[in-house]
Amino acid sequence: MKMLINAADTVVSDALEGLAQAHPGIVRVMRNPDYVVRTDAPLQQQVAIISGGGSGHEPMHIGYVGRGMLTAACPGAIFTSPTPDQILAATYASASRAGVLYIIKNYAGDRMNFEIAMETLLLEGVPVASVIVADDVANPMQDLRRGTGATIIVEKVAGAAAEMGASLEECARVARRAERQSRSIGVALSACTVPALARPSFHLGDNEIEIGIGIHGEAGRQRTTIAPVAQIVDQLCSALVDDLDLRAGDRTLALVNGLGATSPIELYIVFYEVARWCAARHIVLARSLVGNYMTSLDMAGCTITLMRLDDELLQLWDAPVCTPALRWGV
Amino acid sequence: MKMLINAADTVVSDALEGLAQAHPGIVRVMRNPDYVVRTDAPLQQQVAIISGGGSGHEPMHIGYVGRGMLTAACPGAIFTSPTPDQILAATYASASRAGVLYIIKNYAGDRMNFEIAMETLLLEGVPVASVIVADDVANPMQDLRRGTGATIIVEKVAGAAAEMGASLEECARVARRAERQSRSIGVALSACTVPALARPSFHLGDNEIEIGIGIHGEAGRQRTTIAPVAQIVDQLCSALVDDLDLRAGDRTLALVNGLGATSPIELYIVFYEVARWCAARHIVLARSLVGNYMTSLDMAGCTITLMRLDDELLQLWDAPVCTPALRWGV
């Protein structure tokens, strides 16, 4: 394994310091326990939107802290849930009386630790709500679906609502709507390498790809042979559209997300095929995002997320945002 | 070789179509000859800023077309210069009487083809100027220095000047100043794979890295063993600072650029070490950019660019920009 790191045990802390120094006007990085928070937090009368999860998926979540998106993010160790004390520290640094909304990816560890934090807050009388993101259709059992690319959309939508002064109930409502209208699925061309293990999480042959891969190197639903990207996109988009019951005339947002080691030129080719696929079915691509938004260390491959849009979700998506990784309108 | 493509001979055209469909409000993609142009071009009374070069370096240059940066970009085949007719077609679609500035990376093919286009324009009475970008310090002979990361900065600065209504002479002047104040150097952890060749351009051993690599897989100045990133950054930054004669108190812009297959978490670690290195020498990092801004297909590694800033360059850098890959202030 070759990586641009100092040592396996300083990967997360070095990257956090790098983020802090690259974006001093947007985020503040706190250490021990680690969290990233907006420089202007806590914001009076504004609901705090907080997410977190294992590191190794950058820019998720730490790159989405800033005006119009997350108030704070809690980065765990690589592929490891943040601890309850991290979550609480981030919460105390960002929550006002308007309350706090946790955006939680559907992994057992994340759910457990955010729930412990919520119980503490409820005892303290802090208004708190949560939304679970479970958008990955690779697992046929809905309760076991992992949280992946839709998390970015949910964070954007909830953050926009909070910035507009929405109540906690209202922020939770739009976040849940965004989550229910989104589906994702991924394909890996190579496994990722966890720095502390120094070897790939699994092995794919020279011509093999894995459909339905998880963002921690979890097994997918099918191992197959590399094919023209139009064929791969057909398989991925079919799974999404069936599950979401997307129909002709529906407006959608498409996120083509690189997993870390896939080049921008490839991601634009994938997007082209997604656009062609949708156009052939009269599904309207009203908004799009193409790039590395949720990685899996050095995994090669991509995920595709489709969200059904309506006027409310479109307005929240288009609202100004100023974070290290997502920025427009300001 | 595994890549998310349809076929080697459709890589560039598929990616161009993807870019066009992902950013319909910003760019228009024209085909045969291929170029990407602002949707609102030609702009009367505004100098057209045009660049181009081989494909495989996305988002450079096609992702930098838009308000406040390039008026048009000409993408050649993979690692192949754009042809004079491409350059002229882009020019006719974007140039007004205010003239046109070509931003040319210092490669023989690029220089030759842009010069042919310039000769045609001069005969036709179109005001034209050019700036050659030669920022890569890996080659000790200044005339042979390649154009790399500084190109993005030069394009941003020239585009900002044009957007503010500067004359052709003025746009060329600030572009040349930005170029002279910038230096870059790269390190590769793996070679890139040209789709049509379907094999890596060279081979690095399991623990080998190459310092001073070119963005087309050209040989570097030194092959060595992977080391903690602090050591690698020390070697790279020393070369830049010596060549640029950066001194304590100087304000700089630092660009840490991923070459395509390097994860965001690694790029933030590299940036952290750059920031620490500069801080120890009292060099002020006034602005920064961390991400995939000029790739080399699926090469693993990064380039570092440092630019000495003054009030004029800072103002042009901070000016609003709205392109697929760089966006702020709008």
Please give the ipTM for the structure prediction: 0.97
| A287 & A253 share domain | yes
Q: Any catalytic annotation for residue A57?
A: yes
Interface test with B, best of A4, A36, A207, A272 (most B CBs within 10 A): A4
CATH code: domain of residue B118 = 3.40.50.10440
Residue type, B213: I
Please provide residue A206's backbone torsions phi and psi, each rounded to the nearest 5 degrees: -55, -30
Strand partners, A35: A30
- Does residue B135 belong to any structural domain of this protein? yes
| B79 & B111 share domain | yes
Give B330 to chain A, closest Cα distance, Å: 5
Whether A303 contacts A192, CB under 8 Å: no
Whether A165 contacts A194, CB under 8 Å: no
- Does residue B7 belong to any structural domain of this protein? no
**Cα B35 from Cα B27, distance rounded (Å):** 10
Give the containing element (helix H, strand E) for B224.
Answer: strand B222-225
Full-model pTM: 0.97
| A135 & A275 share domain | no
| A294 & A159 share domain | no
pLDDT per residue, tens digit, chain B (330 aa), is 799 999 999 999 999 999 999 999 999 999 999 999 999 999 999 999 999 999 999 999 999 999 999 999 999 999 999 999 999 999 999 999 999 999 999 999 999 999 999 999 999 999 999 999 999 999 878 778 999 999 999 999 999 999 999 999 999 999 999 999 999 999 999 999 899 988 888 889 999 999 999 898 888 889 999 999 999 999 999 999 999 999 999 999 999 999 999 999 999 999 999 999 999 999 999 999 999 999 999 999 999 999 999 999 999 999 999 999 999 998
Q: What is the pLDDT of residues A135-175, one digit of tens each?
A: 999 987 877 899 999 999 999 999 999 999 999 999 999 99
**Cα A25 from Cα B234, distance rounded (Å):** 26
| B195 & B293 share domain | yes
Token digits for A183? 């589906």
| A133 & A265 share domain | no
| The one catalytic residue among A23, A61, A203, A216 | A216
Its domain, for residue A236, covers: 183-309
Q: What is the DSSP letter of B18?
A: H
| A194 & A111 share domain | no
**Cα B87 from Cα B70, distance rounded (Å):** 13
Give B192 to chain A, closest Cα distance, Å: 10
| A278 & A157 share domain | no
Out of A22, A229, A271, whose CB is closest to B271? A22
Count of positions (residues) in chain A: 330
Mean pLDDT, chain A cut into blocks of 10 residues (330 residues total): 94 97 97 97 96 98 98 97 98 95 97 98 97 93 89 98 98 98 97 89 91 88 95 98 97 98 97 98 98 97 98 98 95
CATH code: domain of residue B304 = 3.30.1180.20
Cβ A263–B6 below 8 Å, yes or no?
no
| B230 & B146 share domain | no
Interface test with A, best of B209, B253, B268 (most A CBs within 10 A): B268
Q: Any catalytic annotation for residue A282?
A: no
| B212 & B113 share domain | no
What is the number of domains present in chain B? 2
Q: Work out the angle at residue A86's Cα, subtended by the Cα atoms of residues A82 and A91, and round it to the nearest 5 degrees.
A: 120
